[in-house]
Amino acid sequence: MIPLRPLSVAEILEGSIATMRAHSRTVLGISLGLAVVTETVSTLVTGFFFNSNPSLDKLRDGTTTKVSDVLKAFGDSVAGSGSASLISMLGQIIATAMLTMIVSRSVLGRSVTAGEAWRDSRPRLVRMLGLTLLIPLIGLAIVGLGVMPGVLLALFGSANAGAGLAFLGGTAGGCVAIWLTISLSLSSPALMLEKQGVFASIARSYKLVRGSWWRVFGVQLLAILMAFIITSIVSIPFTVIAQIVSSDNTGGLLAGAGSHIGWAFLIVIGVGAVVGTMFTFPLSAGMAALLYMDQRIRREGLDIELARAAGVDGYAASPSRE
């Protein structure tokens, strides 16, 4: 699926798409199944919260101004959104894990079934979950540390000076958090393909990205932009259809808080999200896995090991390295 040499950005993208084509039944089947589960949960949570929530109905009708009702509605909203986000995150973790295994096999010219990808990835899913939670928490902690001096100054000194210091600290912390997030962005494929622990995978990613931060950032940004473009293109016709079939005109979302969200609107929007996710899951996972392999090719001569594993005769490693 890829040339056994250091890859260009275009070749990483092409390799991810080529994997989707060559193993379309397995790749799209995994993505579709997980997307259906996650979007179904999200649709049900959204629909029941907005249409079957007594606390929200009281606020919508203006029949109460009690703080307890406001807090109850807010708590239900957080619980519902949190549940949907958790299910979505779990689906993305499973998809990333399984699709990473498929990409690693496709690089060697080997096919893999969904069952084989599941058996290979299942033992490391708990570690993947821990890794997925840990990296954002580290970023939030860094931002929090940056903001903290300003908050303390605002509480015990000048409020204006504290606000300014908090802004500067938060901005600096955000920059550090972005830098660290990109530095650790290859942790997931390292965990899956090298079968390492969470902290060993983090250290591995930092080592591979070091000295190539801007290149890794560019590829990761491209993956995000591609996913956004695909999602936007897919969502437009489904949004139009949802507005047409919804009995509540625009389903309540565009009509404001005073309307219920129609189930027809939610279902059509959910179908659109499933279609978009079915393509963005493998694209993002494929680009991340190929970027990881490319960094190893550049730094460790992984292309020689890949050629040997693929049974390529007379292969000579490319002299081009970073």
Q: Which two tokens stand for residue 131?
A: 């890794």
Residue 111 vs residue 284, higher pLDDT: 284
DSSP string, 217-273: HHHHHHHHHHHHHHHHHHHHHHHHHHHHH-TTTTTTTTT-TTSPPPHHHHHHHHHHH
| pLDDT score of 99 more than 80 | yes
* Amino acid 307: pLDDT: 75
Q: What is the mean pLDDT of residues 216-237?
A: 92
Residue 218 vs residue 89, higher pLDDT: 218
Is the entire prediction scored with pTM above 0.85?
no
Q: Return the amino acid letter for 172.
A: A
| pLDDT score of 173 more than 70 | yes
DSSP string, 152-164: HHHHHS-HHHHHH
Closest to 186 measured CA to CA, from 283, 308, 37, 295: 295
| pLDDT score of 313 more than 90 | no
Task: Express as a percent the part of the chain with pLDDT over 70.
Answer: 82
Distance CA 148, CA 142 (A): 10
Confidence bin at 109 (pLDDT 50/70/90): confident
Closest to 272 measured CA to CA, from 245, 239, 247, 246: 239
Q: Which two tokens stand for residue 287?
A: 């680009």
Task: Express as a percent the part of the chain with pLDDT over 90.
Answer: 42
Confidence bin at 186 (pLDDT 50/70/90): very high
Q: What is the mean pLDDT of residues 25-33?
A: 91
Q: Which two tokens stand for residue 91?
A: 């689906």
Q: What is the mean pLDDT of residues 93-111?
A: 86
| pLDDT score of 258 more than 70 | no
Indicate the burial class of 98 (C-beta count within 10 angstroms; 0-12, 13-18, 19 or more): buried
Asked if residue 55 lies in contact with residue 143, where contact means CB atoms within 8 angstroms, the answer is: no
Distance CA 186, CA 198 (A): 12
